[in-house]
Amino acid sequence: MTVRSLTAAGRVAVPWKNGGGVTREIVAGPEGAGTDGFRWRVSLADVGTDGPFSSFAGVDRTLTMVEGEGMDLTVDGEHRRVDRLFVPWSFPGDLPTDCRLLGGQVVNLNVMWRRDGGANPVVTVAPGGTAVTVPAGPEVLIVALDGAAEVAGLTLARYDAALLSGEDAVLRPAGRAAVVRFTGAPGPGSAPTGR
């Protein structure tokens, strides 16, 4: 098994593509890819004010609110109330999306991938207090969301992450933990294809 520790300490807050908030990248494939060069990207995004989300052509995204009271999103003219923590919700990243906060700042776990990139991520949230077997995959990312978690010999504090590949792993979250399975992704150091 290959295991890579991705600690929250030292992550740099970077302005959104449209300047409307900040994001802290956890990991991207290929590693070091900017907002125009990733095949897939996972980050924590702070949404502090009402306004539009950045648009990403040819990109789908799964958003999981991990802090805050919620958002009223309008995606291509359709309203969607996102007011439950730890519930993944997917939508096209290239449709006009506007956000109205329901009660102050929120923090979202944001998984984005190019439709033509083959990563095909699936995001689930494991409950705390129960051991979960995480099946092997080309890439599996674990992110501790509201408490510590143990996986593959690592102890993760809140918002720490581990990138795994090659074998099944047992996840023991004290609080909730996100499991992001990239069913067809090459490693984060791989070169992008098709673009």
* 142-165: average pLDDT: 97
| C-beta neighbour count of 155 within 10 angstroms | 14
**Which position has the token pair 């923090």?**
107
Is residue 162 pLDDT above 70, yes or no? Answer: yes
* 26-38: average pLDDT: 85
Beta bridge pairs of residue 108: 45, 65
Nearest to 3 by CA among 125, 156, 166: 166
pLDDT band at 192 (very low <50, low <70, confident <90, very high): very low
Burial zone of 68 (CB within 10 Å; 0-12 exposed, 13-18 middle, 19+ buried):
buried
Is residue 189 pLDDT above 60, yes or no? Answer: no
Is residue 195 pLDDT above 60, yes or no? Answer: no
Contact 42, 110 (CB under 8 A): yes
pLDDT at 118: 84
Alpha-carbon gap, residue 28 to 32, rounded angstroms: 7
* 122-132: average pLDDT: 95
Is residue 188 pLDDT above 80, yes or no? Answer: no
Cα separations (Å) of 107 from 64, 103, 154?
9, 12, 24
Among 33-42, 59-68, 71-80, 138-147, the minimum mean pLDDT is found in 33-42
Alpha-carbon gap, residue 160 to 65, rounded angstroms: 16
Is residue 187 pLDDT above 60, yes or no? Answer: no
DSSP state of 114: E
